[in-house]
């Protein structure tokens, strides 16, 4: 099977890779590029663990083909912190203990980042519906919602 050459931007850096036509972007990110922060919970678009931002859209990377990344911008959890300075969402997730096992966390952080970019002052209900594409089995979501509310207020103040 011939590889397709793809050129893309990941977390601000130029990235080039070869992939099979049937390979998902999730597989490419994890297995070819070593971005293991992007998680696979289902592979069918139902859990959100593989969430990334593609150009300006929140997508499940398991539903995108690697080849579709050509010329696009990709943001993953690995790009959220600036050096050793955590993104306010990351900081608030830690402070509120919004993670137990943490497998869902990268997906939630990316989904929340996308939500706050579009709606900097969401209500609780808007947060709950905004994050409804991400499954968490550990927390019951309470502390996740609070962490997002708190991060939103920090980000508005900043």
The site for ligand FES (CB under 6 A) is made up of 40-43, 45-50, 60, 62, 99-104, 136-139
Per partner kind, with CB cut-offs from 5 to 8 A, the member of another protein, ligand FES, none near residue 95 is another protein
Q: Give me the least distance between CB of 36 and ligand FES, in Å please.
A: 13
Piece of 2-10, 51-59, 67-75, 88-96 that binds another protein (CB under 8 A): 88-96
Distance (Å) of CA 152 to CA 35, 119, 124: 26, 9, 11
Cα separation of 117 and 8, whole Å?
A: 22
Per partner kind, with CB cut-offs from 5 to 8 A, the member of ligand FES, another protein, none near residue 62 is ligand FES
Phi, psi values for residue 57, rounded to 5°: -115, 140
Comparing CB distances to another protein, the nearer of 71 and 119 is 119
β-strands 51-54, 57-60: how paired?
antiparallel
Comparing CB distances to ligand FES, the nearer of 16 and 31 is 31
Residues contacting residue 82 through CB under 8 Å, at least 6 positions apart: none
Comparing CB distances to ligand FES, the nearer of 137 and 156 is 137
Which pair of tokens denotes residue 152? 């939103």
Buried-state track 55-67, b at ≥16 Cβ within 10 A, e below 16: eeebbbbbebbbb
- Neighbouring CB atoms inside 10 A of 23's CB total 20
Q: Give me the least distance between CB of 8 and another protein, in Å please.
A: 18
Residues of this chain that bind another protein (CB under 8 A): 1, 20, 22, 27, 30, 35-44, 46-47, 49, 76-78, 80-81, 86, 90, 93-97, 99-106, 109, 124-125, 127-129, 131-145
């Amino acid at each position: 099977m011939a590889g397709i050459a793809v050129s893309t931007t990941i977390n601000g850096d130029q990235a080039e890779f070869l992939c099979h036509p049937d390979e998902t972007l999730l597989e490419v990110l994890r297995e070819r590029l070593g971005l293991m922060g992007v998680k696979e919970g289902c592979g069918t678009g139902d859990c959100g663990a593989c969430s990334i931002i593609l150009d300006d859209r929140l997508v499940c990377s398991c539903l995108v083909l690697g080849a579709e990344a050509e010329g696009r911008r990709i943001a993953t959890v690995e790009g959220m912190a600036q050096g050793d300075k955590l993104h306010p969402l990351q900081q608030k997730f830690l402070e509120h203990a919004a993670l137990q096992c943490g497998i869902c966390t990268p997906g939630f952080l990316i989904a929340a980042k996308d939500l706050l970019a579009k709606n900097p002052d969401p209500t609780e209900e808007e947060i709950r519906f905004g994050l409804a594409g991400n499954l968490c089995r550990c927390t019951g979501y309470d502390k996740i919602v609070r962490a997002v509310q708190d991060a939103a207020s920090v980000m508005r103040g900043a």
